Amino acid sequence: MIFTDTPYARFNGNPACRNIHKTAYFILTKCAELLAFTYPGHQVINFGDACPLSGNCSGHPDGAHSGRHSAAIDMDYMTIEGANTTQSRKVSKGPLDIIWKDGKLVNFDWKRNFIFWRLLYTVHPKIKIAVDTRIFDFVKKEVQRNYGVFEANCLAYYLQPDSRPEFNHDTHCHIRFQL
């Protein structure tokens, strides 16, 4: 199906890559709605490239967004200030939100990102979310400090760190549903 905007989730990627599996879309938008009720007044979540109807979103390594009914999509990280736009925009023309300064995370809303990822995992336990290794380490440390060792160790079930620069997971995460 074609990703259409809701009051809680907005497609902000390559217009040709709006195709996403209907179950993945339903889970994403319902979890975004739940998050909005938990944190009223915050900006919508920006989603980026899913997949084109032709089968492969150009410019993505290793077929990361391939298949006519892809269950993979990019998501901008949620920020403390700004519009949650941490990756280059193809649709909206607003400024990018900076989450890195001198190699350290700034303006990164770890709690909202974590709660959203945890919601996704709760609804769909086969989900895999790829993030930059430094973001993984930061979130794990904060989760352990705020929720305990058990919850921090549970991150490994759904959150996957990676350090390959060609994936650009320092500016967005990659969500893959195993449907």
Say if residues 45 and 35 touch (Cβ distance below 8 Å): yes
Q: Name the H helices within the chain.
A: 22-38, 110-123, 133-147, 149-154
> Which residues neighbour 108 within 8 Å (Cβ) at sequence distance 6 or greater?
77, 79, 80, 99, 135, 138
pLDDT at 4: 86
Query: Could you state, in order of their start, the residue ranges of all structural domains in the chain?
Result: 9-176
**Per mean pLDDT, which of 53-57, 70-74, 122-126 is the most reliable?**
122-126
153-173: average pLDDT: 91
| Three-state SS letters, 109-123 | CHHHHHHHHHHHHHH
In terms of pLDDT, which residue wins out, 92 or 19? 19
82 — alpha (psi -120 to 50), left (phi > 0) or beta? left
Torsions phi, psi for 83 (to 5 deg): -115, 20
Residue 129 has pLDDT above 70, yes or no: yes
Per-residue pLDDT band at 59 (split at 50, 70, 90)? low
pLDDT at 16: 77
Per-residue pLDDT band at 19 (split at 50, 70, 90)? confident
128-141: average pLDDT: 96
Say if residues 70 and 21 touch (Cβ distance below 8 Å): yes
d(CA 86, CA 88): 7
By DSSP bridging, strand 100-101 and strand 104-105 are: antiparallel
**CATH number belonging to domain 9-176:** 3.30.1380.10
66-86: average pLDDT: 80
Task: Return the closest-CA partner of residue 174 out of 119, 132, 139.
Answer: 132
User: 53: buried, middle or exposed (CB in 10 Å: 19+, 13-18, 0-12)?
Assistant: exposed
Write the pLDDT tens digit of every residue in 47-57: 988 776 556 66
pLDDT at 71: 79
Task: Return the closest-CA partner of residue 71 out of 49, 53, 50.
Answer: 50
pTM of the model: 0.90
